[in-house]
Structure 1
Amino acid sequence: MNFTVTIDRDEDGMWIIECPAIPGCVSQGTTKDAALENIKDAIALCLEVRAEKGFPLTIETRQIEVTA
């Protein structure tokens, strides 16, 4: 499965990655590459927990471009 993620840096320089399609699925890393690897594990674990609890695996999200 392919998921869209958001990537940000916090004030301490950590890379924070969130998967909007899976509520609460967030990870981080000291480098962008590490954070991207970590979110893959987080996605797998979040999907496993959601399936065990009978929750929908994902929620509908939509990506659009906005010009400001």
Structure 2
Amino acid sequence: MKLKVIVHPAEEGGFWAEVPAIQGCATQGDTMEELLKNLHEAVEACLSVDLEQIELSGNDRVLDLAV
């Protein structure tokens, strides 16, 4: 999966970034390397789903979709 990310310089130094395709998904880093690491973690967290909190009936199926 490829996502577009918008990287902004932070006023206090470093960078912050947002992922427009995932509402509310944003992070920051002091360096570009730290920002990229944090982006991977943020996207994973924003897209993670805790199936234990979702009610599934006997006819429902859970699929993993690679895009």
Identity of aligned residues (%): 36
Distance (Å, rounded) in 2 between the aligned partners of 1:7 and 1:18: 7
Matched positions, count:
53
Partner of 2:3: 3
Q: How does 1:14-53 map to 2 (within 5 A)?
A: 14-49=14-49
Aligned to 1:12: 12
How big is the shift at 1:40? Answer: 0.7
Checking the alignment, whether the CA contact within 8 Å between 1:17 and 1:36 is kept in structure 2 is no
Structure-2-length-normalised TM-score: 0.69
Q: Which stretches in structure 1 are left out of the alignment for 5+ residues?
A: 55-68
CA distance in 1, matches of 2:11, 2:20: 21
Give the greater-gyration-radius structure (CA): 2
Give 1:10 shift: 1.4
Q: Which aligned runs of 4 or more in structure 1 are off by greater than 6 angstroms? A: none
- How large is the Cα RMSD of the aligned pairs? 1.9
- Structure 2, unaligned runs of 5 or more: 55-67
Counterpart Cα distance in 2 of 1:23 and 1:37: 19
2: CA distance, partners of 1:33 / 1:14: 10
